[in-house]
A and B are shown apart, each in its own frame.
Chain A
């Protein structure tokens, strides 16, 4: 079964909007592209088109939130998290306002549109914003949960939306805000993954099984606050931790995990995998994931190399 992320987002937003009249949708010429078209159609009085002006749009969200509304703004990720970073930091973060920022297409989602539209630094930036909660859903079920969580959480929330439909692998989900989802237990290695990499990590773990490597898979829909308890628990029982993210290896999810484990006296090596520096390549999504070593198969290959290093 595969679900279109934008469709799930749009339907969930509409349902939440029907239940809570304080929710306002804000577009930067992005309502249709980001999946808010149905909300705009049903609630024109609670829909704001700010046009191609992201700095202004974030400021508007801050003003609306200060007056009691709960704005959700969705647009292509770099335009919100990078162009308008200072507005996000000052007007939303420091002011601790109830604004929900949705990066439409995180990571390599806009794979063919080049480095201007790909977003591999967004989590790094949002991690530095005071009071910001960061949610990185993987598939349809996560997106629904992430959006519901965002509106249940008081204060600023950043949701990093995937764009490509994903096959849902795990049928039984245990999605809880702020908690890692243990998708597979294992004793040799723990793969800690976030966003769409959660699925690729499960594929990798299945492949590794054939090579006699027993890998645990932990999914992190919530990147901030990080579930440090579960990370530390696994650090105490596996030979290595491998983080996987569709993001720069600099200051993203992997860095957060490393930061969490750094003070621990007894800990296994932590290998941060992701995109080395900038998203410089362009191409079909799956091919690009493969290029950066982020498909299940490539993750498994990397882990076998790591295992070799550990035994050497």
Chain B
């Protein structure tokens, strides 16, 4: 990957973060921490990896501001629609709704639904001979749902190597550290034991993410999972690595400071 591409993907991630921050500041609340942690992953997938026919399922539906930001940057939706976030009748509610917004492949919100549905998409492609790939983005806290592991076993048994899961491992969930709440082993070991092929990368290094996704399937006949080590609240210093910013209600001073930090970050592309 050229530096130019790296720069474009970093710019894409920055723009996604800008949509997230602006929308939450304008609306007064929103799932900020985990949308910010997956912005680089979405930039790489939407602007570097996915072909037009590929499918993206946001299993952790609460990260939807990142998806809305990516869709706005991709030109799939008009960015002004984000101004209606959470309002009555809005196409951009607090969890993504496929019946309301173009570009949302499947409605999500309750955790642990995406990987089973992704298995259905991947299986359908195997049955019809379609070449599309199915990407499923999950959180690390979400791995506590049993349905994730039902699907993990199925994908492995049925050799769904057209299925690529991503775990946005920001290490935090609502009540604290994922390691303290729901994580008995490393995801690498767990997915490996379920017969998946695993790659672990820095989830904010777009080059590393790009290379990992580009090499999927990592092994023929096996589903692939990218474990992306991320920082919750990435990009806004006072939000970083703090569980309390899972759902962010910015006061005036936080709003001003967050917008200032986004402005500061943007200077890089203004020369």
Contacts and interface: CB of A to CB of B under 8 A. Distances in A.
Interface in B104-152: 105-110, 112-113, 115-125, 127-128, 130, 146-147, 150-151
Interface string B143-184: 000110011011000000000000000000000000000000
Given A46-B127, A90-B110, A95-B107, A63 B153 contact: no
Interface stretch (A54-62, A215-223, A238-246, A283-291): A54-62
Q: Which of A56, A65, A66, A68 has the most CB of B within 10 A?
A: A56
Q: Chain B, interface size: which category?
A: 20 to 34
A58 B154 contact: no
B98 A56 contact: no
Contacts of A64: 120, 123-124
B151 A59 contact: yes
A193 B82 CA distance: 50
A152 interface: no
Contact of A53 (B123, B127, B128, B154): B154
B154 A60 contact: yes
Contacts of A57: 116
A62 B153 contact: no
A55 B147 contact: yes
Contacts of B109: 90
A1 to B, nearest CB: 39
Contact of B110 (A45, A63, A66, A86): A86
Interface in A10-27: 24
Contacts of A66: 105-106, 117, 120-121, 124
A65 B166 CA distance: 23
B7 to A, nearest CB: 35
| Chain B interface helix/strand/loop/mixed | helix
B123 A60 contact: yes
- Which one of B113, B117, B130 has the greatest number of beta carbons of chain A within 10 Å? B117
A174 B267 CA distance: 74
Given A55-B112, A90-B113, A67 B121 contact: yes
Given A87-B113, A87-B116, A90-B109, A67 B124 contact: yes
A282 B135 CA distance: 47
Contacts of A60: 116-117, 119-120, 123, 151, 154
A27 B192 CA distance: 26
Contacts of B105: 66
Query: Which of the listed residues A67, A86, A95, A96 has the most CB atoms from chain B within 10 Å of its own CB?
Result: A67
A122 B109 CA distance: 24
Interface string A57-93: 1111111111111000000000000000011001100
B150 A56 contact: yes
B181 to A, nearest CB: 21
A51 interface: yes
A62 B113 CA distance: 10
A66 B125 CA distance: 11
B116 A56 contact: yes
B124 A55 contact: no
Contacts of B119: 56, 59-60, 63
Given A64-B124, A67-B121, A95-B106, A59 B147 contact: yes
B142 to A, nearest CB: 14
A182 B153 CA distance: 49
A63 B128 contact: no
Interface in B243-259: none
A63 B123 contact: yes
A32 to B, nearest CB: 19
Contact of B146 (A24, A51, A55, A68): A55
Nearest to A69: B124
A57 B151 CA distance: 8
Nearest to A67: B124
A69 B154 CA distance: 19
Nearest to A62: B117
A201 interface: no
A30 to B, nearest CB: 15
Given A45-B127, A55-B146, A94 B107 contact: yes
A66 B121 CA distance: 8
Q: Please name the 9 residue pairs, one residue from A and one from B, whose CB atoms are nearest each other, closest first.
A: A63-B120, A59-B116, A67-B124, A56-B150, A53-B150, A60-B120, A55-B147, A56-B116, A63-B121
Interface of B: 98-99, 105-110, 112-113, 115-125, 127-128, 130, 146-147, 150-151, 153-154
17 contacts: A53-B151, A55-B146, A55-B150, A59-B115, A59-B117, A59-B119, A59-B120, A62-B106, A62-B120, A64-B123, A64-B124, A67-B120, A67-B128, A67-B130, A69-B124, A87-B147, A91-B113
